[in-house]
């Protein structure tokens, strides 16, 4: 095979796994790192940090391939997704499935070989959630809630890896992530609302209707409320709460981006959630670091 053909194939695989669009990796990574740092009380095992960071990249890549396989019939009818490799024929169904299976097997093997048994069992559950998420858009009115579980399951896994058990606070953090995911993925769904209505895909943006902006802001508020309760339960200090205040300011900014429901501004709000997750992570790191001093 000629070099240019190999490079074209690699480019198609990169786009299949969405490595050219890292926002999904970051939205999956931030809550996982929140949990890794909290479970490690500010001094996590660096092997665990490495495994969860690499695992996040691998599993998000596998999830994208599985999602495109499930949505292949629909993606060609949506402007934003009409150029995906499975739609254009650059990658075949069997190829995409092979890529997804290899990635899933690699991630699962990495967890089983390096972490404890409980984390391995939880990783199997996480894989099942990730694999079934694309089908929830067929019948579930708010599939973004299920996405929040998929994108947040690294939280109980991180506690299991670090502590050997999953305390109640981990599940509350997962709840916070579900509300956060409903908010940011509703912003994302607002971009495709017209196309999704036409082809019959269910999304929170459609379910919430004219109350979509209000629903996004209420979900942001709920996520922050749960994270405040988590901080109180753990005895976290001022830096953590300052980070939540910063995240709240960023979320308030999103209101001004999405209130007119313009596609590009809604998409910008969705992308901007990377800074929300990053701000909260920095607050957690700063709080534990300053307390250690």
pLDDT of residue 228: 98
CB 56 within 8 A of CB 25: yes
pTM of the predicted model, to two decimals? 0.93
- Residue 84 pLDDT exceeds 70: yes
pLDDT category at 82 given cuts 50, 70, 90 is: confident
- The mean pLDDT of 263-288, rounded to a whole number, is 96
Residue linked to tokens 């769904």: 189
Q: CA-to-CA distance for 185 and 205, rounded, in angstroms?
A: 9
- Largest separation between any pair of C-alpha atoms in the chain: 60
Residues 228, 231, 237, 242: is their CA dihedral positive or negative? negative
- Residue 32 pLDDT exceeds 80: yes
- Residue 131 pLDDT exceeds 90: no
Mean pLDDT, rounded, of the chain: 91
- Residue 26 pLDDT exceeds 90: yes
Q: CA-to-CA distance for 186 and 168, rounded, in angstroms?
A: 27
pLDDT tens-digit series, residues 205-225: 888 889 999 999 999 999 999
Q: CA-to-CA distance for 239 and 285, rounded, in angstroms?
A: 9
- Residue 13 pLDDT exceeds 90: no
Burial class (CB in 10 A: 0-12, 13-18, 19+), 23: middle
* Domains, in order of start, for the chain: 3-292 (1.10.357.140)
- Among 79-88, 102-111, 229-238, the range scoring the smallest mean pLDDT is 79-88
- Residue 1 pLDDT exceeds 70: no
pLDDT of residue 198: 78
Closest CA to 97 of 125, 75, 77, 67: 67
- Residue 201 pLDDT exceeds 90: no
Q: Which of the 8 DSSP states describes residue 41?
A: T
């Amino acid at each position: 095979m000629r070099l240019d053909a190999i490079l074209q194939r690699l480019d198609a695989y990169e786009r299949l796994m969405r490595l050219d669009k890292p926002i999904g990796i970051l939205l999956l990574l931030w809550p996982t790192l929140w949990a890794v740092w909290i479970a490690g009380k500010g001094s996590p095992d660096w092997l665990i940090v490495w495994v969860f960071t690499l695992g996040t990249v691998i599993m998000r890549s596998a999830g994208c391939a599985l999602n495109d396989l499930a949505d292949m019939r629909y993606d060609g009818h949506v402007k934003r997704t009409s150029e995906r490799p499975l739609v254009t024929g650059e990658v075949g169904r069997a190829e995409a499935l092979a890529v997804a299976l290899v990635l899933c097997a690699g991630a699962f093997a990495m967890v089983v070989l390096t972490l404890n048994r409980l984390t391995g069992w939880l990783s199997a559950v996480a894989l099942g959630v990730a694999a079934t998420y694309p089908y929830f858009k067929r019948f579930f009115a708010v599939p973004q809630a299920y996405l929040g579980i998929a994108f947040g399951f690294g939280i109980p896994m991180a506690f299991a890896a670090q502590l050997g058990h999953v305390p109640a606070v981990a599940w509350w953090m997962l709840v916070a992530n579900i509300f956060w995911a409903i908010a940011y993925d509703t912003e994302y769904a607002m971009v495709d609302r017209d196309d999704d209505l036409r082809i019959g895909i269910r999304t929170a943006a459609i379910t919430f209707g004219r109350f979509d902006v209000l629903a996004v802001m209420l979900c942001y508020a709920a996520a922050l409320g749960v994270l405040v309760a988590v901080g109180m339960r753990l005895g976290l200090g001022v830096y953590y709460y300052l980070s939540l205040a910063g995240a709240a300011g960023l979320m308030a900014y999103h209101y001004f981006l999405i209130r007119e429901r313009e596609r590009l501004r809604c998409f910008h709000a969705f992308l901007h959630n990377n800074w929300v997750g990053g701000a909260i992570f920095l607050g957690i790191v700063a709080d534990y670091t300053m307390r250690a001093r």
